[in-house]
Amino acid sequence: MNQDQKSFFDFTSPFELKRPIEIFSKSLKDQFYVLKNEKFKLKTLVLQRNYLIKFSSKKTTQKYYNITNALLEYVNHPQMGKGISITKNGANFTFYGIADHWYSNMKKWCVQPNFQKEYCMIKLVGKGSFGKVYKIQSLRDKKEFAVKLFDKTTFKPQDRQALLKEIELMRIMKHENVVSILETYENEQYIFLVQELFNGGELHQELKKTRTFSEYGAFIVIQQVIEALNYIHSHGIIHRDIKPENIILKEQGMIEQVVLADFGLADYFRKDCKYMFTRCGTPGFVAPELLQDKIYDYKVDIYSCGILFYYLLVGKGPFDSNNYDQTVMANFNGWVDLTKFQFSIECLELLRGMLDPNPIKRYSIDQIKQSSFFRKHITVFQQYGSQSSLGSIPSQGDSLTTSPLQSPKLELKSPKDQKSRFVQSCVSPLQSPSRINAVSLSPLQGPFGKPQNLQRIPIQI
């Protein structure tokens, strides 16, 4: 894709701005040659995340470029040599000098052309109506990655907005338990999102083996999800789709290395609850207040994580049903019966705290970390964490089991391969919509009415 073609990312934000801006000491700072009035002049540039600043110590206001979604390219000049060109909304800024390190730091925020010159496709590993996932290899160092490929010709206006939001959020992420975007490419037809390659598959694939996790095994997964939530919440982001399909194992069978994925329904937290998708998530995992059209906050993720905790221990969700409406209705009420289980007192206490239908009483992340259940298992995890494959977890602290997975004699029916998720009025471009005629925006006709069929979206591949 060249500079003359209209980009999918055009006009997502202003390019050139001027205002007072703080220069951080750890920011990249160097001098480059910039063309001005047909002459090259040495200018001091500063790179702060997605801001490229033309710095002047003599001025109170600084001129800077918001490089988010700008087209990023290497250029060569017969006299000045190698340089970097950034183009956005029809405007361009180019500078020359020792640019490789700067380019590496800028590419996460920008969009690059010529994907095929940097990577080769190895094989298709996932497929959906809007996007495909491929295993790829870098032509430079032969390292392997994953790429999500989206066909722009199939996008509707709301799809563009949703994908832009997801890319924006994932660029911010930098945590060992959270998926992030490494690079973004675009050509005439496709958008390419390059990510780290994880070979372990989805957590729900482990759960399909008709075995349930011990309390300690469940702890290993949940404590990592809690760390992921603590991180994204600290950045003002709510996920809103915590479920086994969105927990990815970095290596096969190694539950001590999981990442939280799929930010298709994530958004920045708003006190007024006016989101792109207001009612969204996966039936059976959604916090009751979200279904009840109440104002909600970060604690919707805690409730979903509590359902995930339950799922690991029991082998199915508390609201699982073959009937979609029944699942939504039970989820709407939000009450989970824990009286029939013989879990440890510490485990039951944490489950009740995370699954409290009242978000005010529901546990916070700090309360979860300080719970007796977490304190009971954290020492064991720190001692044996490097050995925590599905077949090697010690049984210390478990009241009823002698392995990380409960005895095969306690087999339960396999959970369904897919959990549908729904949104209020828009469809994520990462999903294939399966529309059900919905006559009401409310999930229920009344507090005790029959649930309405909602617009549903299959899980992301």
Q: What distance in Å separates the CA atoms of residue 302 and residue 350, rounded to the nearest whole number? A: 11
Q: What distance in Å separates the CA atoms of residue 11 and residue 70, rounded to the nearest whole number? A: 10
Q: What distance in Å separates the CA atoms of residue 337 and residue 321, rounded to the nearest whole number? A: 15
148 is in an annotated binding site: yes
Contact 286, 300 (CB under 8 A): yes
Question: 347 vs 39, 310, 315, CA distance in Å?
Answer: 70, 10, 16
The number of beta carbons lying within 10 Å of the beta carbon of residue 353 is 18
Q: Where are the beta strands (DSSP E) in 4-50?
A: 16-19, 28-36, 39-48
List all residues 6 or more positions away from 157 whose beta carbon is below 8 Å from its beta carbon: none
Catalytic residue among 241, 262, 267, 320: 241
The residue type at 426? C
Q: What's the burial of 27, exposed, middle or buried (CB within 10 Å: 0-12/13-18/19+)?
A: middle
Q: Using alpha carbons, select from 249, 243, 268 the residue that is nearest to residue 177.
A: 249
The residue type at 304? S
Catalytic site includes residue 337: no
Q: What distance in Å separates the CA atoms of residue 288 and residue 327, rounded to the nearest whole number? A: 12
Q: DSSP assignment of 228-297, as one string?
A: HHHHHHHTTEE----SGGGEEESSTTBTTSEEE---TT-EE--TT---SSSS-B-TTTS-HHHHTT----
Residue 120, φ and ψ in degrees, nearest 5: -120, 145
Q: Tell me the torsion sign for CA atoms 200, 202, 208, 214.
A: positive
Give the residue ranges of the annotated binding site for ATP.
Answer: 148
Q: Which residues are catalytic?
A: 241
